[in-house]
Structure 1
């Protein structure tokens, strides 16, 4: 997975009704909560246990 291209996020995230973080490939709103998705950050990826390799 390539999380960033030229420093810009390729993924967005939001939490579902249970508070679980979910990831999406496009900007928009979470389909369950209708809250705006946030752009992925290195901090969030690290918290979720992803390794960032460019």
Structure 2
């Protein structure tokens, strides 16, 4: 797994940090797949959401 500072820097560089945080928050309520259907993220970040979020 990517260390958190590297993940943060890469996500900020790609302009998707805020979207990632939003997806992580949404995934806690609606599940990863529904959150990712609403919020476009690069594949590497989408996988982190899937890995961290509970299945809804």
Quick check: which has more Rg, 1 or 2? 1
Q: Which has the higher helix share?
A: 2
Q: Structure 2 length as normaliser, TM-score? A: 0.23
Q: Which has the higher strand share?
A: 1
